[in-house]
Structure 1
Amino acid sequence: MLLISLFIATLFLAYSNGANDNFKGVATLFGSRTSSYQTAILWATFTTLGGAATATFLASTLIKNFSGKGLVPDAIANLPEFHLAVAIATGLTVLIATLMGFPISTTHSLIGALVGAGLVAIGLKVNFAVLGTSFVLPLFLSPIVAIPFGAAIYSLSGYINSKWHLPVNQKMIDTCHFLSAGVVSFARGLNDTPKISSLILVIEYFSVQGGMITIAIAMALGGLLNSQKVAVTMSEKITSLNPPQGLSANIVTGILVIAASLFGLPVSTTHVSVGSIFGVGLTGKKANMGVFYQILLSWILTLPTAAIISGIIYRLLQG
């Protein structure tokens, strides 16, 4: 019964993740009116599934990182109760943010949930050194890198165009924009699927490949059915976008997230994507600082919220 509950809770987490995250890769397509909402989310779903499939071969490091091993003793990390508390707490945290329209990090939520359950299980014996080097540092650095990188790429493209007066073919820009959005969504599937899959691999029935495929399907459904509020925030509220700005933001996000996946660094696609979009918005002085600060606050609250929920659930499961 406990393993069935873990399976259902992990699917719930994957659904919540898809609802909050799937549209982020294609937000610039919709925001710049390069495509309709329906076309954008279908493209995101297809390319995210492609990334998830590829993750079964390339992302074993992330599976190990998010199993809890190294953060807490293996005896705790292998308990279904531990994984169940983490899955429920992460899913609830992400779903609440989704319903409020805030694009938060599932990665950040997972880390908070792992820490919360770990603190209840073993107190201050949680390996905070591993937490800092393997999790927190990459998460905080990713938006710091993405904002200036996004601004620089867009400014550079504008400079090159003005310097050499290159003819701009709108159809070519739109094609590149679609491809870049696909790359971002692919990268998100590559980076997020193994993190969630790690929670159900204590169920012996699942192989790594089987777990990831199951998670990918649930993520796709979440994105198709519940992306609207986060879509509006990402596409319209952070900044107004034109196609070249959207293309620049997507190039930055794709490069950073794919590089992180290959090196096993658990960066947040959310942090990178929001940072890139905000960065290009700054160059045109159209970035909405108020909305950006609200998103930052939601990021700050993500980890403690997930930790508190996870700690409470793990204590309840202990009976």
Structure 2
Amino acid sequence: QTFIWLMMAALLAAALWLNIATAMGAPVSTTHSIVGGVLGAGVAAGGFGVANWPMMGKIAASWVISPVMGGAIAAGFLLLIKRTILYKDNKRQAAQKMVPVYLAIMGWAFTTYLVLKGLKHIHKFPMSQALLIGLVAGVGVFFVTGVLLRKQGEKLENSKSGVDKLFVIPLIVSAAFLSFAHGANDVANAVGPLAAINTAVANAAGSGTITTKVAIPLWVMAIGALGIATGLALYGPKLIKTVGQEITELDMARGFCVALAAAITVIIASQYGLPVSSTHIAVGAVFGVGFLREHLQSNYNRNIAKIRKHMHDENEDEETITAFLARFEAASVAEKKRVLRELKEKAKHEEFSWAQRRRFKKAYKAKLIERSMLWKIVAAWVFTVPLSGVLAAALYYMIRGYMLP
């Protein structure tokens, strides 16, 4: 009876917290909510000694590991795409050369991710097999996309928007793969307590013992599938807006980097046994993309300001400065680099104090991430396990008080 009450309290607490957080627009981890619920109800039922605190330490570490890894990988891929395609004068040629490479990486990453995370409840593949299956898929994607891009030839627009269009279908496919694997994992976690209750009830009617292995009947999985579909229909648009629009602006290439980072982070974490959350990885990847954009835009703003200051020092009038900056904006990347190198050489003779440099840097810092959203999400993540635990403990005492004679 105690075990059933405990799992019921954990399930209700996790569901309650997830609904509250989602209604607030905070993308929190289902897995962490369930873990917090089980922990809180378990401590309430058996004391602090029943908890596996080293495991809880790993889960707490994932609050940092997941978003940082996801953000770093997403930012790295976006920077690569910018340097190898978007910063090139001939974007069409660069895209035909490099996009198949990125899509091959996507094919490898998502196939491996799918095998490791999405199919683990059907058959558990070792890492070596998953990587090999992913490699085969990646090679296939490379050759197919290479042929398709060569056929497009001159039809491909030589612009950022033209390159962006190449990531539309891969982004849709990657979103589908992520949803499948994420759903497979999160539904299993969400219905875990329900399956445990079902097994406990069945055992109570039979042997009267509690087993360590829990059978998951089809009806339990069906409830989980129905729940995740209903939740997506009701709360999905709100969270999609939060992650896709309110944190930072995403285009196709940036979204592709976010999805790719999520898959690769899970692969790395699986290899090294790091506890990570798919939700935290994806949101962290969005923040990583946003922070990279801020960094690049801030550098660009400072360079424009330095050019303007230098020309003012040379006694150039405002009309000349404006015309020069317009030409600078329209110049090729190579030409911009040349101008900035010359400016840097001239600036070596100018002396600035640390305070002056700091003020200059702060004045032209771009803010492309909504800071209030950042702190809101971080707070929700930090409080997920404690709050769901407290809720579960309270619900356990309520259930026990009601059920006991």
TM-score, scaled to structure 2? 0.55
**Counterpart residue number, 2:194:** 200
Q: CA 1:207–1:267 in 2, change beyond 3 Å: closer, same or farther?
A: same
- Which residue number corresponds to residue 22 of structure 2? 98
1:122 has 2:131 as partner: no
1:10-159 paired onto structure 2 within 5 Å: 79-125=3-49, 126-133=51-58, 135-159=59-83
Structure 2: gaps spanning 5 or more residues: 96-161, 203-213, 295-367
Instruction: Find the aligned partners of 1:189 and 1:261 in 2 and give their Cα distance.
Output: 17
For residue 179 of structure 2, what is the aligned residue in structure 1? 185
Quote how far apart the aligned CAs of 1:273 are. Answer: 0.8
Give the 3-state SS of the residue equivalent to 1:200 in structure 2: helix
**1:293: how far off?**
1.4
Q: Distance in 2 between matches of 1:156 and 1:194?
A: 36
For residue 398 of structure 2, what is the amino acid of its counterpart?
A: L
2:285 to 254, 276, 283: 276
Q: 1:172 to 1:209 in 2, by over 3 A?
A: farther
Structure 1 position 259, deviation (Å) = 5.9
Counterpart selection for 2:234 from 202, 225, 229 = 225
Give the SS at the match of 2:26.
Answer: coil
CA change 1:124–1:181 in 2 (3 A) is same
User: Which residue number in structure 1 is paired with residue 249 of structure 2?
Assistant: 240
- Going from structure 1 to structure 2, the CA distance change for 1:201 and 1:263 (only over 3 Å counts) comes to farther
Shift of 1:112: 1.6
Tell me the amino acid that sits aligned with residue 168 of structure 2.
D
Amino acid paired to 1:172: L
Q: Which amino acid aligns with 1:208?
A: I
Measured in 2, the distance between the counterparts of 1:209 and 1:220 equals 19
Residue 208 of structure 1 aligns to a residue whose secondary structure is coil
Give the TM-score, by structure 1 length: 0.69
Counterpart in the other structure of 1:311: 393
Query: What is the number of equivalent residue pairs in this alignment?
Result: 242
- 2:259 maps to 1:250: yes
Q: CA RMSD in A?
A: 2.4
Indicate conservation of the 8 Å contact 2:63/2:381, yes or no: no
Kept after mapping to 1: 8 A contact 2:247/2:287? yes
CA distance in 2, matches of 1:170, 1:240: 14
TM-superposed deviation, 1:264: 7.7
Q: Is the contact made by 2:5 and 2:396 (CA closer than 8 Å) also made in structure 1?
A: yes
Aligned to 2:151: none
Q: For residues 206-225 of structure 1, give each alpha carbon's deviation from its aligned partner in whole angstroms, at most 9, with x where no partner exists.
A: 94251223312211111012
* C-alpha spacing 1:170/1:146, structure 2 compared with 1 (3 Å): closer
Question: How far off is 1:255 after superposition?
Answer: 2.6
Cα pair distance change 1:239/1:169, threshold 3 Å: closer
